[in-house]
Amino acid sequence: MSPSPVTSTPILRTALVWSVIVAAVLAVVFGVVGFLVGGGEGLGSGLLGVVLSAVFLAITAGSILVANRWFGDALYVPIFFGIVLGGWILKLVVFVVALLLLRGQPWIDPMIFFIAVVTSVIASLVVDVVVLLRMRVPTVSDGRLPTAVVDDEAPVSRRGDTDAV
């Protein structure tokens, strides 16, 4: 499989891999802490909070990775934005359905669920920042530096020219 010409692809893949690892660690942590604090309800709430936030956060990066497969196609831009917008709409629908299904459920500990979601989102943001800071993105493809072209110089304003700013 040849590497993608889109420079965001390796960054997004790395971010997704690390986000999955962090989500797995957080699921274990919140499962144990939730169980110790709230029993079975705490366990389920902690796990559900981490899983839901991980799914929501992965949809955007995943949709961009899927959309990048059409790079070079004449319809790349509309395909890209259609897929990414579709991912956002999917997140909105899943969020509303999850809220409706989970609202008032007796087996959910709201505080543990909330803390798990917030912690997972913050952890995912930290992963994204660390990945972006450590990635090396090529900016020059052939090693040649641009040269100045005489015709590209800005016009020099003349004295008394009222149009000059």
User: Of 63, 64, 49, nearest to 119 (Cα)?
Assistant: 49
Structure tokens at 154: 């800005």
Name the more confident of 88 and 3: 88
> Three-state DSSP class for 67?
helix
Q: Which pLDDT band, with edges at 50, 70 and 90, does 9 fall under?
A: confident
Which residue is it, tokens 């797995």?
24
Confidence of residue 132 (pLDDT cuts 50, 70, 90): confident
Going by C-alpha positions, the residue among 10, 19, 13 that lies closest to residue 137 is 10
Q: What average pLDDT is seen over the chain? A: 84
Amino acid at 111: M
10 Å Cβ neighbour count for 80?
20
Task: With CA atoms as reference, report the closest residue to 50 among 14, 21, 85, 81.
Answer: 21
* Three-state secondary-structure class, residue 55: helix
**Tokens 């629908």 map to which residue?**
93
- The tens digit of pLDDT for each residue in 29-83 reads 999 999 999 999 999 999 999 999 999 888 888 898 999 888 888 898 999 999 9
pLDDT value, residue 149: 63
**Rounded Cα distance, 28 and 25, in Å:** 5
pLDDT of residue 152: 60
- % of the chain residues with pLDDT over 70: 79
